[in-house]
Amino acid sequence: MDQETTEAGSDEGRNTGMNVDLELSEESKRQREGTGNIGAFGKRTGSSDLRFFEGVLPEIGGEVLNDHSVEEQFSTALDNLESALADNRNLTLNDVMKLEIQVTDPSAAEAVDHVYESRFDDVELPPRTVVGVCSLPGGADVQLDVIAAEE
């Protein structure tokens, strides 16, 4: 069920060529609701030496730890990252090339820095970006997007 949209303004009624699949929009909405539908993220692998991990959440057994402190959530997300790295060709935190940390509370940056420095204490700190966001899946306060390289 496609729905064509038109832009308002001086070119009123002009077709922009943009089609919106209402069924997909509903699916995207379900993916944003609750931990059972967190399927918009994944891991990309293949023949490249780069590994991409998106939407790494602070979850255990499918339950997001949204009622824990930012430090605990970030530490759990890093645990999940380490597990995913190990499952993906025996990589470690030493193989992380870039880390994006998304937080819902920008004032948590100091707490995130403390955990970051302690978890990467025996390896060279990878470049990182801390990004403030309005909300994260499952009500999490922290989420990670990571690029690692098999070298």
pLDDT in tens, the chain (151 residues): 444 444 444 445 444 455 555 554 554 444 444 445 444 455 544 567 889 999 999 999 999 999 999 999 999 999 999 999 999 778 999 999 999 999 999 999 899 999 999 998 778 899 999 999 999 999 999 999 999 998 7
Q: What is the model's pTM?
A: 0.69
Q: In what order do the strands lie in the sheet with 50-56?
A: 43-44, 50-56, 142-149, 96-103, 128-132
All domains of the chain in start order, with CATH: 2-31 (no CATH), 40-149 (3.30.1330.40)
Q: What is the largest CA-CA distance in the chain?
A: 61
